Amino acid sequence: MNTVSDYDVAIIGGGPVGLAAALCLDEAGLSVAVVERADETRWSQAAFDGREIALTWHARALLERLGVWSHIPESIICPLREARVETGRANHPLVFDADQPHGSPTGPLGWLVSNNMIRRALYAEAATRPGITLLPDVTVETLRQDGDAAVIRHAGGRLRSRLAIGADGRFSPTRRRAGIGAVIHDFRRVIMVCRMAHDAPHHNVALQWFDEGQTVALLPVNGGASSLVLTLPADEIDRLMHAGQDAFNAEIVERVGGRLGAMRLVSTRHAYPLKAAYAHRFTAPRLALIGDAAVGMHPITAHGFNLGLRGAETLTKEVSSALSQGEDFGGSAVLRRFERHHRAATAPMFAATNGIATLYTHDAAPFRALRSLGLRVADALPPFKSAVTAMLMDRGPKQAQG
Ligand SMILES: Cc1cc2nc3c(=O)[nH]c(=O)nc-3n(C[C@H](O)[C@H](O)[C@H](O)COP(=O)(O)OP(=O)(O)OC[C@H]3O[C@@H](n4cnc5c(N)ncnc54)[C@H](O)[C@@H]3O)c2cc1C
């Protein structure tokens, strides 16, 4: 079979950013196809993958506007009241909370929602839209771009569109197919994520602890549990991934310094090699890269998905403005504008995140001294703390004043 289907836009990758982009472009009045290699069940009912996504105010507002937020059960949305950063055993924490006198108005810093539930909600909403065609179980074989169309070939036929979007993750095959290179920063560490139930309450506080030899984050989730995010060299993570449950629980209590009392593993364990990626270009003829395919962030600043949503919005804004002026929405002028704006929005955050991650994963004495000093100086600077709080919350200038 070699049927050709025509759409305004074809998106490769039905992850959270690809689906969000589909919804944004549908709202702009375009017909959209989303091509995903997972089968329909794994796509619509995405399984727990360990990630708890800290959503900013801006991300929540967008998900509400797109009709996605209402698909997320309220019982699994965990408000984040405070974020603490600690280094070594000195225990001089840097505390960010939404209510600090120099900070933004009251309210949570953000919300934690598990990645698979965000994915399910996005899918559920996309499935209700007549303008969006969801194509599961499709593996792209080739992508060809010519003067006025992009053509995706797969085993079941071809998709022709005015614009193709690569949203297929940080090791994006689409990026490679288009001949676009990427800066890949390999931190030579692996992150393990899982849920631990515990006896002591977490009070909706997230902890990021740069300890000697390990980095630990404890993120509050509902139901008397926290998400453990542990960063270690690959061999140590491999051992922990296979450790028996009792030995695992005991080691984690020890590693987190008994902060939350007795702890019990209550989920599957998931490991992610720490590699950040930044594409050399975000566009090629008739092609835009978004999400991790364009900017694959180190998770330490919890901004990958939030920036992915920004990319989907920026691209939609440029496409809509081209449509309203009768311009070719997949043409090079539109793509250039998208690329300029999205690079400006992401490059500083990408560089800063890599800097922080490097500083905090090296254990040589100068690095230890520098980070301890860094936290003390930062804590003594209310304007700095307000600026970081505002960035974490991303409420936008209007709301921040209100
Ligand atoms: C441990 C961890 C914690 C994180 N915490 C946060 C956080 O707190 N806040 C935050 O904002 N971000 C966070 N992130 C980052 C966030 O998870 C990612 O930025 C986000 O998932 C990227 O979405 P995406 O749709 O671009 O890519 P992906 O989620 O990688 O989805 C890509 C999709 O494309 C599909 N695909 C791949 N290749 C093909 C192909 N050839 N054809 C068809 N389909 C294909 C895949 O099956 C997948 O469905 C975290 C990441 C990790 C690892």
Q: Whose CA is nearest to atom 4 of ligand 1?
A: 299
157: left (phi over 0), alpha (psi -120 to 50) or beta: left
User: 132: closest CA among 15, 30, 13, 16?
Assistant: 30
Is any atom of ligand 1 closer than 6 Å to the C-beta of 36? yes
Average pLDDT of the chain is 89
Q: Is the pLDDT at 373 greater than 70, yes or no? A: no
Residue 307 to residue 108: CA distance in whole angstroms: 20
Question: CA 177, 318, 136 angle in degrees (round to 5)?
Answer: 45
- Mean pLDDT over 360-371 rounds to 61
Report which of residues 361 and 95 the model is more confident about.
95
Nearest ligand 1 atom, CA 56:
11
Cβ proximity of 275 and 187 under 8 Å: yes
Q: Is the confidence at residue 58, as pLDDT, over 90?
A: yes
Ligand 1 center from residue 15 Cα (angstroms) = 6
Rounded-to-integer distance, Cα 306 and Cα 109, Å: 14
For ligand 1, the distance from its centroid to the CA atom of residue 167, given in whole angstroms, is 9
Task: Identify the CA nearest to 16 among candidates 118, 105, 150, 135.
Answer: 118
Burial label for 139, CB within 10 Å (0-12, 13-18, 19+), is: exposed
Domains by residue range for the chain, with CATH: 3-80+110-183+277-363 (3.50.50.60)
Q: Quick check: CB of 272 below 6 Å from ligand 1?
A: yes
Give the Å distance between the CA of 169 and the centre of ligand 1.
Answer: 5
Q: Which atom of ligand 1 is nearest to the CA of 19?
A: 25
Task: State the closest ligand 1 atom to the C-alpha of 50, by its place in the atom list counted from 1.
Answer: 1
Number of neighbouring beta carbons within 10 Å of residue 258: 12
Q: How far apart are the first and last CA of the chain?
A: 58
- Say what the pLDDT of residue 93 is: 72
Predicted local distance difference test score (pLDDT) of residue 349:
86
Amino acid occupying residue 231? T
Give me the pLDDT at residue 99, please. 63
Distance CA 120, CA 72 (A): 8
The reported pLDDT for the residue numbered 399 is 42
Does the CB atom of residue 299 touch ligand 1 within 6 A? yes
Q: Under 8 Å CB-to-CB from 155, ≥6 apart: which residues?
A: 138, 139, 141
